[in-house]
């Protein structure tokens, strides 16, 4: 603690991202990055940008908004772009949730950035326990609240909540005039309908997407919020109180190129889904318990008889050069979150996992 820090800085409980190792080359399956390169069109777009970097970027990212609107069948006024969906979410918590209102609801096991934003903005929150099988049941989210945040598919479980249940929650939130944020970081890997179809009837639904996973641009920092014009304007009020040029020229141009290359991304998404299903089947054969995933990762716990559990299994994989993610958290500390890599990477992972599972 420093006496120079504001109360807000002192009380903050910052998010801790997954490890980005520098010292050795791991097969890196720990932060849900895409194993394939971005579209070749993204690389081409880069060349055009460099010469213009002396100029400030478009503060409202209009061309990017238009590209996202075309991609998702919306108006550009229904799109808010930001530096990664983490920033977009950070703004959204500030724009839509209040210190003096009821608690904001989200699951006890979900993206661990949500409580961080609540802490920062002084927003009361209440976590709702996932069911025994790690699914989300809509019931508790229909109660009156200060707002709702659900990652769909959920992270780190990978489990999808069907659209009708999201719609029930959206309806209840609409009746009490509260915002419902659906974080669709992994939606593309679920092959299920997005909550975007709710936006027309529900001015209180904000769908958040990231270009980090599906579009293989985690290093660029680009994310989107999609929703009614009034929600987008709320986000703009917060953004313009921080930084009026949030997205640089490179991020804008490369995001546009990515959003426009639908066939390329459908191709790599299908490959990741096929690899995921093959790995899930193999892990089950080895005796792992594997949750059904609609994401680019698997959430799995070691076979019953295996003496190495959770964190020890993680460490044994790490010694073998394979980095996955382990969360030291009640109910999930026996699980590993395994990002889907290329087929070759996953073969190495499966070999190592089998070896560790068999070691005594």
**Candidates 82-90, 259-267, 275-283, 317-325 — which segment interacts with ligand PLP by CB under 6 A?**
82-90
Among 84, 107, 158, 302, binds ligand PLP (CB under 6 A): 84
CB of 93 to ligand PLP, least distance (A): 12
- In 3D space, the residue among 137, 128, 241, 141 whose CA is nearest the CA of residue 181 turns out to be 141
CB of 297 to ligand PLP, least distance (A): 9
How far apart are the C-alpha atoms of 101 and 88, rounded to whole Å? 22
Tell me, by CB under 6 A, how many residues bind ligand PLP: 13
CB of 39 to ligand PLP, least distance (A): 17
Residue 168 in contact with residue 193, Cβ under 8 Å? no
How far apart are the C-alpha atoms of 186 and 190, rounded to whole Å? 7
**Candidates 116-124, 133-141, 210-218, 232-240 — which segment interacts with ligand PLP by CB under 6 A?**
210-218
**Candidates 35-43, 81-89, 129-137, 251-259 — which segment interacts with ligand PLP by CB under 6 A?**
81-89
Task: Please spell the DSSP secondary structure of 107-136, one letter per residue.
Answer: ESSS-THHHHHHHHHT--EEEEPPPTTSPP
CB of 254 to ligand PLP, least distance (A): 14
H helix runs in the chain, sequence order: 7-11, 40-50, 62-72, 84-96, 113-121, 163-175, 229-239, 249-260, 262-285, 310-319, 343-358
Cα 279 versus chain centre, distance:
21
Residue 218 found at the interface with ligand PLP (CB under 6 A): yes
Residue 223 found at the interface with ligand PLP (CB under 6 A): yes
Locus of tokens 């299903």: 277
Question: Which positions from 120 through 179 interact with ligand PLP, judged by CB under 6 A?
Answer: 151, 155
CB of 275 to ligand PLP, least distance (A): 19
Provide the binding-site residues for ligand PLP, judged by CB under 6 A: 32, 84-86, 111, 151, 155, 183, 185, 210, 212, 218, 223
């Amino acid at each position: 603690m420093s006496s120079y820090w504001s109360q807000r800085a002192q009380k903050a409980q910052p998010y801790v991202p997954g490890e980005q190792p520098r010292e050795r080359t791991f097969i890196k399956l720990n932060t849900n990055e895409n194993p394939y390169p971005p579209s070749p069109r993204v690389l081409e777009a880069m060349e055009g940008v460099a010469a213009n970097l002396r100029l400030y970027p478009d503060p409202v990212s209009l061309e990017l908004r238009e590209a996202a609107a075309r991609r998702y069948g919306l108006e550009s006024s229904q799109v808010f772009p930001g530096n990664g969906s983490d920033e977009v979410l950070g703004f959204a918590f500030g724009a839509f949730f209040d210190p003096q209102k009821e608690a904001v609801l989200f699951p006890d096991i979900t993206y661990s950035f949500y409580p961080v934003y609540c802490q920062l903005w002084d927003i009361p929150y209440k976590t709702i326990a996932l069911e025994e099988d790690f699914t989300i049941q809509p019931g508790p989210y229909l109660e009156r609240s200060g707002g709702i945040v659900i990652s769909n598919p959920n992270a780190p479980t990978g489990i999808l909540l069907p659209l009708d249940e999201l719609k029930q929650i959206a309806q209840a939130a609409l009746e009490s005039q509260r915002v419902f944020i659906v974080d669709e970081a992994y939606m593309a890997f679920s092959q299920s309908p997005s909550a975007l179809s709710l936006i027309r009837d529900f001015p209180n639904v904000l769908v958040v997407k990231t270009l980090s996973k599906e579009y293989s641009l985690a290093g660029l920092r680009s994310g989107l919020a999609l929703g009614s014009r009034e929600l987008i304007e709320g986000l703009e009020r917060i953004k313009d109180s921080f930084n009026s040029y949030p997205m640089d020229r490179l991020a804008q141009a490369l995001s546009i190129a990515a959003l426009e290359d639908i066939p390329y991304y459908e191709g790599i998404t299908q490959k990741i889904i096929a690899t995921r299903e093959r790995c899930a089947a193999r892990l089950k054969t080895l005796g792992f318990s594997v949750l059904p995933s609609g994401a680019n990762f698997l959430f799995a716990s070691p076979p019953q008889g295996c003496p190495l559990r959770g964190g020890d299994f993680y460490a044994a994989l790490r010694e073998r050069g394979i980095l996955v993610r382990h969360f030291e958290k009640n109910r999930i500390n026996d699980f590993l979150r395994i990002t889907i890599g290329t087929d070759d990477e996953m073969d190495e992972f499966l070999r190592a996992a089998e070896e560790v599972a068999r070691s005594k």
